[in-house]
Each structure stands twice: as C-alpha cells, then as structure tokens.
Chain A
Amino acid sequence: MGRGVFWDKMVQTKTVRRSVKPGGVRFGKPKSKKVKQVVEKPKTFVEKPIGGEKNGGTRKVRVKKLPAYYASQPNPKKRAKRIKRHTKPLRSSLTPGTICILLAGIHKGKKVVFLKQLKSGLCLVTGPFKINACPLRRVNQIYLIATATKLNISAFGIPKHINDKYFRRVKAKRPKKEEGDIFEQKQEKYVPSAQRKKDQAVVDGLVMSVIRKREDKKMLFGYLGTTFSLRNKMYPHRLKF
C-alpha cells in the first residue's frame, strides 16, 4: 500500500517539473487557449466489500496488481547467448592409427586402435574385433592412454555413416496400456545388427591390412591381443607408453 502512494507522488512531481521549462520566457505567438478535455485517469484502486464483522466492510484493492518481482537494475542487460560447444580438442598424442590402452568400461586394459574423433568429441576406436573382441566403440579421450606405437592409417577412409548417431542407444518400445504389465517386460539382450557386423568387418579389414604390411606384424598381433596391467615396480607416472 505505502509503496503505491509513494509512486503516485513521484508521478505528480514529475509532471509539475516538466511544465516549467528552464529559462522559461517564450517568444512568438501565444498559443490559443483551448479548453482541455479532462480525461479521467484510470483508477488505481477500487473499493471492494469484504466479509467479516470486524474488517471494516470495505478494502481498497489495486486494479492492477503490483508485480511480485522488481528488477534490481532498471534495464538489466540480457545475457549473451551461450556459444554452442565445439568438439573438444584432442590430445596431441592421439592421432589416427595410434594404439591406445583402454582404461574404463567392459574392455578396460585392452589395446585398441584409435581411428578418429567424432563430432561429439568422443573417440572412435576398434579392437580390431577379431584380435581382442573389442568392437567399434566410442570412448572419451580421458579413458585412453596413447602409446608411442602408431599404425599408418591416415590414408584410409572409415565409412561416413559411422557417426555419433550410429552409436545411439535404441530405445525399447514400451507396451501400450492394454498390452500387459509394464514391469513384466523383459530386457532384450543386445545383438549387433547385420549392418554393424558389416561395418566392423570393413573397418577391421582396413586396420588388419595395415598391420600385415608391417615388419613386426607377428609381434603386433600378439601385442594387441594382450591386456595391459601393472606389475611389480611399475609406476604409471614414470612409465613411458
């Protein structure tokens, strides 16, 4: 209430000030005096009857409710729109063809071949599947140790349809209300689709052909097949990979 009165006064004083102009002598033709049409101001308060014996019968109520929130600044600056996140930069040690050690997930400890970075920033890796049963997968680079061993695969092309969308989880369809209980639905076991198997074969074939060209191919095949683990007196911060 009190606030509303204060504001009304402010409006009044403002209008008075405006009518007196600085250096207020006017020259020229005086304006013809017109009879101003008195426009009735819209009311700010309305008297409303209220119930209850000891409540005085009526109450002044605002026609327009005051806003519940006042900005602390008159014209708060709008925040600049957040810039869309770009793909995270890759570590310099991760280049296509780098043999990496996986640190997390079901395949941890396995050595995999880094193929490329996808748009989301995740890394596309492959076992190859035939050697160590690690399929084409996406991994965050923080879960990869890049080794100094690199394959020369910069030239070959990975099928373009293998992107982030390709790896998205397929949502299981929920049964409609009529069709049985929702709790009874069994989780289906993951079975790679024919398309995935085909892509796996294509990519692995390319990787294998590169390995076969190397002189130390026999050792490398064995190396990719083993898992990494820390032994006695192996300090990972001192190791060179």
Chain B
Amino acid sequence: MPKETFRKLIQIGRVVYLNEGPYRGKLAVIVDIIDCNKALIDGPCSGVPRQAFKFSEMFLTKYLLKINRSQRSKILRGVWDEAQINEKFAASKWNQNLEKEVVRSNMTDFDRYKLGRARQSRNRLLNRVHNHIRKQHFKALRVAKMKKDKKSK
C-alpha cells in the first residue's frame, strides 16, 4: 500500500481521540487490536482506563508511539510523556477547533448579534481594500491594452 494514500493507520501505538461514551473528548493509545471492530486502548496520562473500544467511536490522530503489543500502562506512561502527546495535542489545530466550538455553543443571543456586527465591519474593511486593488488591476490592464493597440496601429 502506498504510504501517501493513508497517512493514519490503525496500528499499535496509534494515539486516538475518543468520540463516544464517558471518555468522550479524551486521548488514548491503541495497545492491541482485538478484532476488526475493536481495539484495546489505554490512556494512562489522560485518565482513560485500559479497555476495549470500537473503531467507529474513535478518530485517529497523527501521533504514533513506539510501543510493543499489550505494553503495560506504566511503560506506556513514560513513552507518552516523552513524546509530549498532551502538549502537542493541546497546541494542535484540532484542539483549537474544539475549543472554538465550546465558545460558540456558549454564546448568548446578544453575543451572536455582536459577533455578526463585528464580522460586518471586518468584511466592510476587507471589501473596501479588495475592491480598490481589483479596480486598479483592471485599470492597469486596460491601459496596457490601449498602449498595445496604439503601437499596432
């Protein structure tokens, strides 16, 4: 299989984001693969106990730990900390989007109005500059064309 087709694979050591159940929103690592539906996961540094978890209820992250099959939690903790998975994920775009979602869902009606007004004024500024540049660009094109026509005559 070419490496570029699938960058993230289900494999031992793959850090996953849990999307279902009481540990929703937490990270864990695949320790063993039980069958085509489930994996044994463990999250000693993120508060997830060792358990079987469905593949359909998790997302794969780009982080991969170098561990052995069915590695003990104690050793896993060391590897996890060394790879700084918690810090890396906290700074990732993925986590930023998650945080953004929380902020958005906590917005009140008045906040939504204020956001709308802010976007309006931002777009007004952007459009003004954009239109100015666009106008100048077409003007330059027209001038160039006229010059060319004159020369050809």
Task: Check: B66 CB closer than 8 A to any chain A CB.
Answer: no
- Further 10 A-B residue pairs, CB within 8 A, beyond A240-B105, A241-B109: A101-B109, A147-B108, A148-B108, A148-B110, A149-B108, A149-B110, A219-B114, A219-B117, A222-B117, A238-B105
Q: How many B residues, CB 8 Å from partner?
A: 9
> Could you tell me if A219 and B107 are in contact, using CB atoms closer than 8 angstroms?
no
Main secondary structure on chain A at its contact with chain B?
Answer: mixed
Task: State A132–B114 Cα separation when bound (angstroms).
Answer: 18
For the complex of A and B, list the 6 residue pairs with the smallest distance between their C-beta atoms, beginning with the closest. A148-B108, A149-B110, A223-B113, A147-B109, A241-B109, A223-B110
Q: Which of B107, B110, B117 has the most CB of A within 10 A?
A: B110
Partner of A226, one of B107, B108, B113: B113
User: In this assembly, does B97 line the interface, its C-beta being within 8 Å of a C-beta of chain A?
Assistant: no
Q: State which of A149, A216, A219 has its C-beta within 8 Å of the C-beta of B109.
A: A149
In the complex, what residues of A have CB within 8 A of residue B114's CB? 216, 219, 223
Q: Which of A220, A222, A223, A240 contacts B107 (CB 8 A)?
A: A240
Identify which of B105, B106, B107, B110 contacts A99 (C-beta below 8 A). B110
21 residue pairs from A and B, CB less than 8 Å apart: A99-B110, A147-B108, A147-B109, A147-B110, A148-B108, A148-B109, A148-B110, A149-B109, A216-B114, A219-B110, A219-B113, A223-B110, A223-B113, A223-B114, A228-B109, A238-B105, A239-B109, A240-B105, A240-B106, A240-B108, A241-B109
Q: Kindly provide the distance from the CB of A224 to the nearest chain B CB, expressed in whole angstroms.
A: 10
Fill in one digit per residue for A93-112: 1 if any B CB lies within 8 Å of its CB, else 0. Answer: 00000010100000000000
Residue tally, chain A, CB below 8 Å to B: 16
* A interface residues with partner B (beta carbon < 8 Å): 99, 101, 147-149, 216, 219-220, 222-223, 226, 228, 238-241
Quick one: which of B6-54 are within 8 Å of A by CB? none
Interface residues of B in 103-131 (CB under 8 A from A): 105-110, 113-114, 117
Is the CB–CB distance between A222 and B113 below 8 Å?
yes
CA–CA, A51 to B123, complex, Å?
103
Residue-wise interface mask of B (77-120) relative to A, using a CB-CB cutoff of 8 A (1 in contact, 0 not): 00000000000000000000000000001111110011001000
CA distance A226 to B117 in the complex (A): 12
Enumerate chain A residues within 8 angstroms of B108, measured Cβ to Cβ: 147-149, 240-241
Residues in A with CB closer than 8 Å to B109 are 101, 147-149, 228, 239-241
Tell me, in angstroms, the Cα distance from A148 to B113 when the chains sit together. Answer: 13
Q: Give the complex CA separation of A241 and B113 in angstroms.
A: 11
Instruction: State how many angstroms separate the Cβ of B78 from the closest Cβ of chain A.
Output: 41
Residues of B within 8 A of A220 (CB): 110
Contacts of A147 in B (CB 8 A): 108-110
